[in-house]
Amino acid sequence: MQLTSPAPAVKSSDTHCPYCALQCGMTVVRLGEKNSAQSRDFPTNNGGLCQKGWTSTELLTHPERLTWPLVRDTKGGVLRRASWDEALDRIASYIVRLQAQYGRDAVGIFGGGSLTNEKAYALGKFARVALRSSQIDYNGRFCMSSAAAASIKAFGIDRGLPFPIADIPHAQTILLVGSNAAETLPILMQYFDRQRRNGGQLMVVDPRRTPTAAAADLHLQITPGTDLALANGLLYIATQEGWIDEEFIETRTNGFEQVRRAVSCYWPDRVERITGIPEKQLYAAARMLNVSSMMILSARGPEQHSKGVDTVLGFINLALAYGKAGKPYSGYGCLTGQGNGQGGREQGQKADQLPGYRKIDNPEHRSHIASVWGVEESTIPAAGQSAYEMLERLGTEGGVRGLLVFGSNVAISAPRAAYIQERLRTLEFLCVSDIFLSETAQLADVVLPTTQWAEEEGTMTNLEGRVLLRRRALDPPTGVRSDLDAICGIAMRLGAAHHFSSNPCEVFDELRRASSGGAADYRGITYERIEHEKGVFWPCPAEDHPGTPRLFLDGFATPDGRARFHVVDHRTAAEEPDSDYPLYLTTGRIAQHYQSGTQTRRVKQLLEPAPEAFVEIHPSMASLYDIAHGERVRVITRRGSAAVKAKLTSSIRMDTVFMPFHFAGQGRANLLTNPALDPVSRMPEFKVCAARIEKEIGC
């Protein structure tokens, strides 16, 4: 006779964290009905996980999880439960009707950098083959686009880091520009710690004394929006002091003489006036860069500006002038952000791109992709509008009338969000695929419940360009299907079923062929290899090719193999403080929450320590307005006003206030932000606009 019931079976599967670009290795352990995350020794995280990673499994069985499709019968009506057939039929019939009435471009797609490579690839193909619409873009436009455009201009290729993160501890000096890695890539900090223990020096450029800046040897507390003047000013000092590497410039680059002339007006006291960084610190920084190995790493701080591309080019100029690119333990790199921020921009969900980082306006690229897709080249549409441009024209004459969103919550994360929310409301049709009823999904006519990372298979490309594999650890709840299933279901109803597969491995095989010969070549990467080799670095053109952890050692990816300097001049932000709006507002992230907060605002351990929106204000500035710590204030810009708690901290510049963008409702930072776009990358200016603060009377 059995006296006790048998112990529940323990099942464990190796996968990767659902959140940021580090894609730390984790094991999902299932004990009965309970799931937990365990760290695992993977070459990137070496056994570490941050608080978001540890708590990520809570979302798998969260009570608010979407477990069946929802549809809305009339505009303004309620969302009700529907079968998958009903939801997919409805999506297809809207697409057919809108395209018949307004043309093919009336239906658009908005994708995301949290989607696997397979999903990003399928979405790009779905837009061009099933919809034959040019209107597809994704949230990476708000994220990586400036650094990507600059890297292509200078190096001929865009891979976030041109070296593995294991190289970081060996660099003598690291200049970290506008990255708060301690909160945004927490597990990466071990590499900077090791670098400093090895005797290296770390510099951080940030208007705030973040935990990352506090860990540095030198913190340059810059005025928001002035990084380009800093880059040019440091180059000026380097040329004056003879710290540039003439031989490297001569043998491996083009265009330095024009840049040398252009930076000759960036003398230190002028740069001090623009950036707010004392001359002495400018000299100290330029001197610290004059070592035998040096990396310059940027994140969103200098990039999310209407001059983000030029600013990154300024820092690339600096790295090149010091002779620190394409050499061991040296180079410029961009720290990507989303889990698949890198891969997401290579597989064709960007308005102007086709898979393998191909250009949609290049005839050879188009015909290669057409042959893989089995379509006529002429049927592939031209480039569409960039993310913000598509959103701001939703529902208007010539704009998108029906939008399908996969993996983004634009009602929170797009700039000038109240306006974008209005635009979403004017759509004739909105479909959102998500895990939860996000603020964007709440506006939708059809909501599709999708699988989470641990319930599906697929590849992700991390910040190093390392292609990783997520294995399916669990079955999804009944009623939940993957985005690939949804895409196939819609394609079938549009008569394009034969072009699509819902099997990730089959999609990946096609992606490999499509990417073959492109800049981001995945041809030689297989699921088996990824598992066996703990990830494979692209480019990897053949199965017997080892992959490419380090780029540029033998030459840059430009036609002549040389890196290119670019003349870039500082200009002011699209909106500078004035007497009505006397402060700089900048926005960004905190450790506990992820992006629009759809996921992390539902995790108790993350919400409790960071339950609501706030604005960081310097105590001296706060006292001018008679604002006390914890008091409710209004932050006001020309776009709108937000109501938040005041957080007094002397870690921020006096002339600047900071808001995280993770919160909904009245605390949304994007009620305030300026959608001024970079002319090349079309990146909005999330990181600087003019604002004023007011005490909230009566609260």
Residue 22 contacts ligand SF4 per CB under 6 A: yes
Please report the sign of the dihedral spanned by the C-alpha atoms of residue 95, residue 98, residue 104, residue 105: negative
Nearer to Mo ion, 158 or 457 (CB): 158
CA nearest 15: which of 346, 407, 459?
459
Applying the rule CB under 5 A, the residues between 591 and 610 that interact with Mo ion are none
Residue 436 contacts ligand MGD per CB under 6 A: yes
Q: Which phi and psi angles does 455 have, rounded to 5°?
A: -105, 5
Q: How far is CA 20 from the centre of its chain?
A: 9
Whole-number minimum distance, CB 185 to ligand SF4, in Å? 6
What is the residue type of 534? K
Applying the rule CB under 6 A, the residues between 27 and 86 that interact with ligand MGD are none
Burial 16-35 (b: 16+ CB within 10 A, else e): bbbbbbbbbbbebbbeeeeb
Tokens for 566, please give them: 């670019």
User: Residues 481-520 vs ligand MGD: string with x where CB under 6 A?
Assistant: --x-------------------------------------
Whole-angstrom distance, CA of residue 27 vs CA of residue 5: 26
Residue 687 contacts ligand MGD per CB under 6 A: yes
Residue 420 contacts ligand SF4 per CB under 6 A: no
C-beta of residue 169 within 8 angstroms of C-beta of residue 144: no
**Bridge pairing between strands 583-588 and 656-660:** parallel
Residue 249 contacts ligand MGD per CB under 6 A: no
Identified binder of ligand SF4 from the candidate list 106, 154, 187, 648, rule CB under 6 A = 187
Nearer to Mo ion, 337 or 489 (CB): 337
C-beta of residue 673 within 8 angstroms of C-beta of residue 639: yes
The neighbour count for residue 630, using CB atoms within 10 Å, is 10
Instruction: Using the rule CB under 6 A, give the single segment among 23-31, 122-130, 250-258, 584-592 that binds ligand MGD.
Output: 584-592
Identified binder of ligand MGD from the candidate list 175, 203, 205, 394, rule CB under 6 A = 205
Identified binder of ligand MGD from the candidate list 591, 617, 676, 677, rule CB under 6 A = 591
C-beta of residue 695 within 8 angstroms of C-beta of residue 621: no
- Among Mo ion, ligand MGD, ligand SF4, none, what binds residue 407 when CB lies within 5 to 8 Å by partner kind? ligand MGD
Instruction: Using the rule CB under 5 A, give the single segment among 143-151, 435-443, 469-477, 616-624 that binds Mo ion.
Output: 143-151
Whole-number minimum distance, CB 457 to ligand SF4, in Å? 18
Cα–Cα distance list, 64 to 58, 60, 434, 436, 483 (Å): 11, 10, 12, 7, 19
Looking from the CA of 182 toward its CB, the CA atoms found within 13 Å total 12
Residue 356 contacts Mo ion per CB under 5 A: no
Nearer to ligand SF4, 52 or 401 (CB): 52
Residue 289 contacts ligand MGD per CB under 6 A: no
Tokens for 581, please give them: 């709006």
**Is there a cis peptide before residue 684, judged by omega within 30 degrees of 0?**
no
Nearer to Mo ion, 160 or 524 (CB): 160
Write the CB contacts of 614 (distance below 8 Å, at least 6 apart in sequence): 644, 645, 646, 647, 659, 660, 667
User: Residues 406-425 vs ligand MGD: string with x where CB under 6 A?
Assistant: xxxx--xx------------
DSSP category for residue 199: T
Whole-angstrom distance, CA of residue 271 vs CA of residue 241: 16
User: Residues 337-376 vs ligand MGD: string with x where CB under 6 A?
Assistant: xx--------------------------------------
Whole-angstrom distance, CA of residue 321 vs CA of residue 564: 11
Q: Which residue's CB comes closest to ligand SF4?
A: 53
Whole-number minimum distance, CB 335 to ligand SF4, in Å? 11
Residue 111 contacts Mo ion per CB under 5 A: no
Residue 168 contacts ligand SF4 per CB under 6 A: no
Cα–Cα distance list, 243 to 249, 263, 278, 609 (Å): 12, 15, 20, 47
Nearer to ligand MGD, 157 or 417 (CB): 417
C-beta of residue 51 within 8 angstroms of C-beta of residue 37: no
Instruction: Using the rule CB under 5 A, give the single segment among 232-240, 331-339, 519-527, 634-642 that binds Mo ion.
Output: 331-339
DSSP category for residue 207: S
Whole-number minimum distance, CB 144 to Mo ion, in Å? 7
C-beta of residue 170 within 8 angstroms of C-beta of residue 143: no
Applying the rule CB under 6 A, the residues between 33 and 72 that interact with ligand SF4 are 45, 49-50, 52-53
Nearer to ligand MGD, 120 or 400 (CB): 120
Whole-angstrom distance, CA of residue 417 vs CA of residue 159: 30
CA nearest 623: which of 642, 656, 648?
648
**Positions that interact with ligand MGD (CB under 6 A):** 20, 112-115, 139, 142-143, 177-181, 183-185, 205-208, 210, 222, 224-225, 227, 299-302, 304, 337-338, 406-409, 412-413, 433-436, 438, 450, 483, 586-589, 591, 593-596, 598-599, 658, 661, 669-670, 673, 686-688
**Positions that interact with Mo ion (CB under 5 A):** 143, 337
**Positions that interact with ligand SF4 (CB under 6 A):** 17, 19-20, 22-24, 45, 49-50, 52-53, 185-187
